[in-house]
């Protein structure tokens, strides 16, 4: 039964993306605010489909920890749904994506209009410098930079090494870094199509103040995200 419900949800999500993306295409010529409104509406409809078709609710904890203005937000990453919540709860997010996503029809057009940060993973040091330059500029404009420090989607309970990009951003941007834990992989697998009913919990943790040494920052960031993510897994088991 969940296979059919999951397939119906995927058809709903991607069908909406195609239809809304094409119908609202003229808005790409207008202000970025208009496009952000389209994306937020699409995400709310996707969340509605998750709830009605798959029995999955989204619960956000710690919204009071989201700063106003420029910030770095470092989130655990287990499922596609993890890229949705910043558009609903952050003032003006800018997500760090791999460059290849910019070439996708519809998704890529809107991602570029929203001035997200596209990274060429094959570019190594040059790509890292470009990412830091763009992130600093956007943070100075008051935007929240969203990064997934593990660099890929992991399994629930899995601890992956954190990439150096998050430390470079923290050091160069000189803004608070907000850790984010979640349990999304329990209900929306990183690989595979079958979703599982339940509550996807996103826990926004207190900001880490700027100014720490790189080594201390990385240790604190990983400890806080992984510890809170494991606590969320236990809540689900309970």
**Contact at 8 Å (CB) between 49 and 13?**
yes
Flag the least confident range among 14-18, 26-30, 120-124, 233-237. Answer: 120-124
In a domain, residue 32? The reply is: no
Number of compact structural domains in the chain:
1
Q: Which of 137, 224, 220 is nearest to 180 (CA)?
A: 224
Residue 135's domain spans which residues? 57-237
In a domain, residue 49? The reply is: no
In a domain, residue 41? The reply is: no
Q: What is the pLDDT of residues 92-119, one digit of tens each?
A: 999 988 888 778 888 889 998 999 988 8
- CATH number for 231: 3.40.1130.10
Sequence-distant (≥ 6) Cβ neighbours of residue 90 within 8 angstroms? 66, 73, 144, 146
In a domain, residue 26? The reply is: no
Look-up of token digits 């494991």: 230
- The reported pTM is 0.92
| pLDDT of 238 above 60 | no
Mean pLDDT across 230-237: 82
Q: Which pLDDT belongs to residue 205?
A: 98
In a domain, residue 178? The reply is: yes
Q: What is the pLDDT of residues 193-228, one digit of tens each?
A: 889 999 999 999 999 999 999 999 999 999 999 999
- Residue 214 in tokens: 């790189």
Mean pLDDT across 54-68: 94
In a domain, residue 68? The reply is: yes
| Percentage of the residues of the chain whose pLDDT score is greater than 90 | 68
């Amino acid at each position: 039964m969940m296979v059919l419900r999951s397939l119906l949800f995927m058809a709903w999500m991607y069908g909406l993306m195609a239809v809304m993306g094409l119908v609202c295409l003229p808005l790409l010529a207008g202000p970025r605010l208009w496009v952000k409104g389209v994306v937020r509406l699409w995400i709310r409809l996707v969340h509605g489909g998750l709830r009605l078709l798959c029995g999955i609710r989204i619960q956000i904890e710690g919204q009071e920890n989201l700063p106003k203005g420029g910030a770095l937000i470092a989130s655990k990453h287990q499922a596609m749904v993890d890229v949705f919540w910043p558009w609903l709860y952050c003032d003006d997010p800018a997500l760090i994506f791999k460059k290849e996503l910019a070439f996708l029809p519809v998704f890529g057009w809107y991602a570029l209009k929203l001035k997200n940060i596209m990274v060429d993973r094959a570019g190594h040091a040059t790509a890292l410098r470009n990412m830091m330059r763009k992130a600093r500029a956007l943070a100075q404009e008051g935007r929240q930079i969203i990064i997934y420090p593990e660099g890929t989607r992991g399994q629930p309970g899995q601890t992956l090494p954190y990439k150096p990009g998050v430390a470079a951003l923290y050091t160069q941007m000189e803004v608070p870094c907000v850790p984010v834990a979640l349990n999304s992989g329990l209900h929306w697998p990183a690989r595979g199509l079958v979703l599982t009913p339940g509550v996807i919990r996103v826990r926004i943790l207190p900001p880490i103040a700027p100014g720490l040494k790189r080594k201390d920052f990385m240790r604190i960031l990983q400890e806080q995200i992984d510890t809170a993510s494991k606590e969320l897994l236990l809540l689900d088991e309970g």
